[in-house]
Amino acid sequence: MRFIRDRVLNRELLCGTWLNLGSSMTAEIAATAGFDWVVVDTEHGAGDHESCLHQLQAIAAGSASPLVRIAWNEAPRFKRVLDIGAAGVVVPYVTSAEEAERAVAAMRYPPNGIRGAASLSRAADFGRSFGEYLSSANERLVTVVQIETEQTLDVVDEIAEVDGADVLFVGPLDLSVSMGMPLQFDSPRFQQALARVSEAARNRGKAAGILLNRAEQIEQTVAAGFTFVGLGSDGGVVADGMQRLAVAFEPYKS
């Protein structure tokens, strides 16, 4: 398993992508493409827990760190994906420091958290390296908390202060909807919101993250201080590619 928490907290530029098809094949393709991390999406993605396992197994063929976005900030969801080999968890809709603290506690074994231990898990090499995993997991697993509402911007500094909330990750679509301006990602008001998140992360030694939908956004995003940057998804790439193939026939149709 490839852990990247140290690189995250060093604010190294780390690039990734989203996996929402529930497919182990596209997971393997993404993991071997050169990304630093990939996220298996179990919040809005098509897969279930078993397909999440298959995707994590496929990701092991590449060099990307395997992360999983869970469906909600509930402790059982964390240990389920961590036990099958996630190197980090993306937590949706974190709206307060208390919720961030709850997420971090679910990520960590006692005495620093509430994660239950399982010695025969895939994460612990089916028991062969349980001692090493138990002693190092609290420091090696990365916790990504999503900033997705306008109200959360008012407390983003408090969230950034939570030990273990490693990445403040903007969910751009949800945030834009919450702000009453769906998909208006280039508007000055939305860009100001991004700057607010970036500043909070930088001031407290955390990383600011975001998922982009166009490569043209990368330069501006990196310049704004975001260092944990995703671009696109397997579903988006397939949908766009299939549409391009179909459109290629249109000039020849009567």
pLDDT mean over 26-30: 98
Residue range 65-80, pLDDT digits in tens: 999 999 999 999 999 9
**What local confidence, expressed as pLDDT, does residue 30 receive?**
98
Residue range 198-236, pLDDT digits in tens: 999 999 999 999 999 999 999 999 999 999 999 999 999
Residue range 166-198, pLDDT digits in tens: 999 999 999 999 999 999 999 999 999 999 999
Note down the domain range covering 167. 5-252
**What local confidence, expressed as pLDDT, does residue 128 receive?**
98
- Count structural domains, the chain: 1
Nearest partner of 152 among 184, 181, 175, judged by Cα: 175
The active-site residue, picked from 12, 33, 44, 203, is 44
Residue range 41-56, pLDDT digits in tens: 999 999 999 999 999 9
**What local confidence, expressed as pLDDT, does residue 140 receive?**
98
pLDDT mean over 112-141: 98
**What local confidence, expressed as pLDDT, does residue 130 receive?**
98
Model confidence band, residue 254 (pLDDT cutoffs 50, 70, 90): confident
Model confidence band, residue 1 (pLDDT cutoffs 50, 70, 90): confident
The structure's pTM equals 0.97
Q: What is the mean pLDDT of the chain?
A: 98
* Residue 44 bears catalytic tag: yes
- The CATH number given to whatever domain includes residue 111 is 3.20.20.60
